[in-house]
């Protein structure tokens, strides 16, 4: 039977109550409760934790309901289910779309083998405020990187056929602008101009919808005062009408009920009617169940039919009408060797070398001290790792195994959040007995993720004190940071000879960190978010709009600079520029920052032509040579600067990137095709335009070390 035929036949046979049942996904921890809900007509449930339990629920749906419609089984598979990959922010640091796709495909295969058909991932919220704990779940501050990696993740989850035994439906979330809550406080207000909405926050959603994402989740926040769950302009006019999105819009957990505290609904019936009327297709939490059937008359029946048709079409695409069951004998419960190898490589590729004076890679030391809370901890999985048995090893155990001939001492000195610094003295005493110290520091997983905003982004507890105490010993040392967000490191970074950011790397984090420390893998990742100098600088991101008074030097807090007027002494003009009096310019480490163990020489960038029409594509190429004696990885980044536009353009905008491995002495050509998408922007009235004029294309290994070529658009 064709999809439309089956969907229409079912729709014609359904009662209003059966229709409404299809439009809800309900949390029920116990499968007995879930089975009862399905008997009552609920069309989607959360995963009941095993293939056998999922089959039992599907059997209830198929055999015990009037129309026998199978259920969608949802789960937040965010960075793996049984085998845990690095957190998405870490995956972004790898600047490697094929890797993101492979990781998503692995997650999909594991999840679907247990009966999961629907994940609530990827998160493509552009995130420019590291106080917000959910930066860990997305791909950072950049529009292009987020769009490209979000699309790669969707391809990985969904493959080319959703009915395949290793495919699941993806959900792009949280639509839209959830990544910019006021003050970085989760769930808080978002007020964003149409210009920024179009050019920044909507753009990755547009890309993943074009990639075929099966569903989109509405965000908890308001946009210009209107909660997204009740925002017809965003859910229907932009997403469905303008972009032609044919999948399902799912609400976030209790997002419809939350319309009451938001202050836009007088009661639950009003909230439900507004949400479905605005374009929501599936409510998450079960709010409609609490309504009087008479209340449902407020909802336009045609709108309900459209929502039901979307749900049924997804069930059909997943092949559930033909076979809703999975084979429990093939459920993938433990990571396979291949899965472990993949996430190990991913964790290594996600590492970013913030600085290095040559301390890294380590040469096998005779006596090494591991200190800091991550020395023995196994908390490497990161936010959104649900308790399905995943676990990771410790760096101490891994290192002992790799250095059987060395004396490995382990003195953590303190816990993550400890206020008691007394153990630092033991770490210092142990350091004096060693040739090398590794400080394994960071944020535990619980400090990032949902509802985990922080107002202070320094290392928690007394960890900074530990780093400074180790620096004071004069013994060579390196710092490894595991974290789910950018940290403020200003108070100690100058004292540390080498700093490696390993994020929360997943199941094989410890192995991968040791691979990188000893140079078996190159830490060539790049920062997907700027690291601020202080919390007072936030929001800080590289692609900020140009101002009328750009600063060229940082402020200095002296009475002289504070008092000076236009006619006063010193650099009078510099006083009236956009900066802080008490802070240098720019972040501590910019977006795109990172190096590696090898060294590279970049040739002169070349353009295939110096003038193009707005619809043409120009090719930008650059020769890159590995000038070192080791194999290494280089990430080439291309940024556009629109010199004059009708709207104040961002200072730079990433438009292309590529990561490649080069052998010692090897020269390779990186070539990028840049066309309309790279040169244009969304103007008023939702028109995408390329304006004639001068552009500069900046290309290089990091944002701050680029070379420019000029291009004119006719
Ligand atoms: C709330 C979160 O905001 C969302 O990302 C998640 O998918 C749902 N809960 C379901 O767990």
Q: Which atom of ligand 1 is nearest to the CA of 120?
A: 7
Residue 714 has pLDDT above 60, yes or no: yes
Q: What mean pLDDT is reported for the chain?
A: 95
Catalytic residue list: 252
**pLDDT average, residue stretch 144-152:** 98
> Measuring from atom 11 of ligand 1, which residue has the nearest CA?
76
Which of 284, 285, 384, 448 maximizes ligand 1 atoms within 8 Å of its Cβ, making it the mutation to test the pocket? 284
In angstroms, what is the span from residue 116 Cα to ligand 1's centroid?
16
pLDDT of residue 556: 61
Structure tokens at 119: 């994940």
**pLDDT average, residue stretch 451-459:** 98
**pLDDT average, residue stretch 464-489:** 98
Residue 451 has pLDDT above 80, yes or no: yes
**pLDDT average, residue stretch 551-565:** 57
> Measuring from atom 7 of ligand 1, which residue has the nearest CA?
120
pLDDT of residue 2: 54
> Measuring from atom 9 of ligand 1, which residue has the nearest CA?
253
Predicted confidence band of residue 559 (pLDDT cuts 50, 70, 90): low
pLDDT of residue 390: 86
In angstroms, what is the span from residue 102 Cα to ligand 1's centroid?
23
CA distance 176 to 494: 38
The H or E element that residue 668 is part of is strand 667-674
**Beta strands 436-442 and 407-411: pairing type?**
unpaired
pLDDT of residue 151: 98
Residue with tokens 């202080």: 534
In angstroms, what is the span from residue 262 Cα to ligand 1's centroid?
18
Which of 450, 451, 452, 453 maximizes ligand 1 atoms within 8 Å of its Cβ, making it the mutation to test the pocket? 450
In angstroms, what is the span from residue 349 Cα to ligand 1's centroid?
28
pLDDT of residue 445: 97
- 3-state DSSP call for residue 523? coil
111-115, 165-169, 558-562: lowest mean pLDDT where?
A: 558-562
Q: Which atom of ligand 1 is nearest to the CA of 137?
A: 5
Higher pLDDT: 496 or 554? It is 496
Residue 155 has pLDDT above 90, yes or no: yes
Predicted confidence band of residue 152 (pLDDT cuts 50, 70, 90): very high
CA distance 705 to 698: 9
pLDDT of residue 568: 42
**pLDDT average, residue stretch 214-233:** 98
CA distance 626 to 633: 9
Structure tokens at 690: 């390329």
Predicted confidence band of residue 436 (pLDDT cuts 50, 70, 90): very high
Task: Give ligand 1 pocket residues (Cβ under 6 A).
Answer: 76, 120, 173, 252-253, 450
pLDDT of residue 565: 41
| 64-106 tens-digit pLDDT | 999 999 999 999 999 999 999 999 999 999 999 999 999 999 9
The H or E element that residue 503 is part of is none
**pLDDT average, residue stretch 219-224:** 97
pLDDT of residue 570: 46
CATH T-level fold of 600-713: Immunoglobulin-like (2.60.40)
Percent of the chain with pLDDT over 90: 90
**pLDDT average, residue stretch 600-619:** 97
Architecture of domain 340-517: 3-Layer(aba) Sandwich (3.40)
Residue 478 has pLDDT above 50, yes or no: yes
> Measuring from atom 4 of ligand 1, which residue has the nearest CA?
252
CATH T-level fold of 1-76+221-326: TIM Barrel (3.20.20)
Is 408:368 a contact under the CB 8 Å cutoff? yes
CA distance 430 to 448: 32
| 659-706 tens-digit pLDDT | 999 999 999 999 999 999 999 999 988 899 999 999 999 999 999 999
Structural domain boundaries in the chain: 1-76+221-326, 340-517, 543-586, 600-713
| 277-293 tens-digit pLDDT | 999 999 999 888 888 87
**pLDDT average, residue stretch 334-346:** 97
Bond before 539 cis per omega within 30 degrees: yes
Residue 648 has pLDDT above 50, yes or no: yes
In angstroms, what is the span from residue 121 Cα to ligand 1's centroid?
9
Predicted confidence band of residue 567 (pLDDT cuts 50, 70, 90): very low
pLDDT of residue 3: 62
Q: Which atom of ligand 1 is nearest to the CA of 121?
A: 7
**pLDDT average, residue stretch 301-325:** 97
pLDDT of residue 557: 62
> Measuring from atom 3 of ligand 1, which residue has the nearest CA?
252
**pLDDT average, residue stretch 510-538:** 97
Residue 561 has pLDDT above 70, yes or no: no
Residue 475 has pLDDT above 80, yes or no: yes
pLDDT of residue 584: 87
CA distance 504 to 487: 13
Which of 217, 250, 385, 448 maximizes ligand 1 atoms within 8 Å of its Cβ, making it the mutation to test the pocket? 217
| 482-493 tens-digit pLDDT | 999 999 999 999
pLDDT of residue 32: 87
Question: Using alpha carbons only, how large is the chain's radius of gyration in Å?
Answer: 27
Predicted confidence band of residue 566 (pLDDT cuts 50, 70, 90): very low
40-49, 158-167, 201-210, 295-304: lowest mean pLDDT where?
A: 295-304
Residue 511 has pLDDT above 60, yes or no: yes
In angstroms, what is the span from residue 253 Cα to ligand 1's centroid?
6
Residue with tokens 């769009």: 147
The H or E element that residue 148 is part of is helix 143-158
In angstroms, what is the span from residue 606 Cα to ligand 1's centroid?
46
Percent of the chain with pLDDT over 70: 97
> Measuring from atom 10 of ligand 1, which residue has the nearest CA?
253
pLDDT of residue 558: 56
- Give the dihedral sign, CA 271/272/274/279: positive
CA distance 406 to 402: 9
In angstroms, what is the span from residue 267 Cα to ligand 1's centroid?
23
| Residue 397 neighbours by CB under 8 Å, 6+ apart | 510
In angstroms, what is the span from residue 76 Cα to ligand 1's centroid?
7
pLDDT of residue 571: 47
């Amino acid at each position: 039977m064709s999809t439309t035929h089956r969907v229409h036949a079912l729709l014609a046979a359904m009662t209003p109550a059966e229709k409404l049942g299809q439009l809800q996904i309900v949390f029920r921890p116990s499968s007995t409760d879930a089975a009862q809900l399905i008997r009552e007509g609920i069309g989607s449930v959360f995963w009941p934790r095993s293939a056998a339990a999922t089959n039992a629920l599907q059997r209830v749906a198929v055999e015990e309901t009037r129309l026998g419609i199978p259920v969608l089984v949802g789960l937040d598979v965010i960075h793996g289910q049984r085998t845990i990959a690095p957190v998405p922010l870490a995956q972004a640091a790898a600047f490697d779309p094929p890797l993101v796709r492979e990781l998503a495909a692995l997650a999909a295969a594991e999840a679907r083998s247990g009966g999961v058909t629907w994940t609530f991932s990827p998160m493509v919220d552009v995130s420019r405020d590291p106080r917000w704990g959910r930066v860990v779940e997305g791909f950072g501050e950049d529009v292009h990187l987020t769009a490209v990696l979000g699309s790669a993740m969707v391809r990985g989850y969904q493959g080319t056929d959703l009915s395949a035994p290793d495919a699941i439906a993806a959900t792009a979330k949280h639509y839209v602008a959830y990544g910019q809550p006021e003050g970085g406080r989760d769930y808080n207000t978002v007020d964003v101009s149409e210009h920024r909405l179009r050019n920044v926050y909507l753009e990755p959603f547009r890309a993943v919808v074009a990639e075929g994402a099966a569903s989109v989740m509405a965000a908890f926040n308001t946009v210009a005062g209107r909660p997204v769950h009740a925002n017809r302009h965003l859910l229907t006019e932009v997403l469905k009408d303008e972009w032609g999105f044919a999948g399902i819009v799912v609400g976030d957990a209790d997002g419809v009920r939350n319309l009451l505290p938001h202050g836009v609904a007088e009661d639950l019936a009003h909230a439900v009617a507004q949400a479905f009327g605005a374009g929501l297709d599936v409510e998450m939490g079960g709010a409609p169940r609490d309504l009087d059937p008479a209340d449902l008359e407020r909802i336009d029946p045609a709108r309900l039919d459209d929502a039901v048709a979307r749900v049924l079409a997804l069930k059909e695409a997943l092949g559930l009408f033909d076979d809703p069951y999975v084979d429990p004998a093939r459920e993938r419960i433990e990571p396979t060797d291949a899965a472990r190898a993949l996430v190990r490589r991913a964790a290594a590729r996600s590492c970013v070398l913030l600085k290095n004076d040559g301390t890294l890679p380590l040469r096998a030391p005779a006596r090494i001290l591991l200190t800091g809370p991550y020395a023995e901890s196994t908390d490497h999985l990161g936010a959104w790792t649900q308790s399905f048995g995943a676990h990771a090893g410790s760096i101490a155990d891994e290192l002992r195994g790799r250095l059987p001939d060395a004396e490995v001492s382990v003195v953590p000195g303190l816990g993550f959040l400890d206020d008691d610094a007394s153990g630092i003295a033991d770490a210092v005493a142990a350091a004096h007995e060693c040739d090398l110290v590794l400080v394994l520091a960071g944020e535990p997983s619980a400090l990032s993720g949902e509802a985990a905003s922080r107002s202070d982004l320094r290392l928690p507890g007394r960890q900074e004190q530990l780093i400074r105490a180790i620096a004071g010993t004069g013994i060579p040392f390196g710092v490894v940071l595991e974290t789910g967000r950018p940290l403020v490191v200003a108070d100690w970074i100058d004292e540390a000879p080498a700093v490696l950011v390993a994020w929360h790397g997943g199941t094989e984090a410890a192995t991968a960190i040791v691979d990188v420390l000893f140079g078996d893998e190159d830490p060539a990742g790049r920062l997907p978010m700027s690291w601020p100098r202080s919390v007072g600088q936030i929001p800080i991101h590289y692609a900020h709009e140009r101002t009328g008074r750009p600063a060229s030097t940082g402020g200095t807090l002296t009475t002289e600079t504070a008092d000076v007027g236009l006619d006063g002494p010193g650099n009078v003009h510099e006083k009236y520029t956009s900066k802080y009096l008490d802070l240098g310019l720019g972040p501590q480490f910019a977006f795109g920052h990172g190096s590696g163990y090898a060294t590279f020489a970049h040739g002169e960038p070349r353009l295939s032509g110096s003038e193009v029409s707005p619809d043409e594509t120009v090719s930008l190429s650059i020769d890159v040579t590995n000038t070192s004696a080791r194999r290494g990885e280089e990430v080439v980044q291309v940024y556009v600067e629109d010199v004059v536009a009708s709207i104040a353009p961002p200072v730079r905008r990433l438009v292309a990137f590529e990561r490649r491995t080069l052998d010692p002495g090897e020269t390779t050509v990186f070539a990028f095709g840049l066309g309309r998408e790279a040169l244009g922007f969304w103007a008023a009235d939702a028109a995408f335009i390329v304006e004639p004029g001068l552009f500069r294309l900046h290309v290089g290994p990091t944002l701050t070390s680029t070379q420019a070529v000029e291009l004119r658009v006719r």
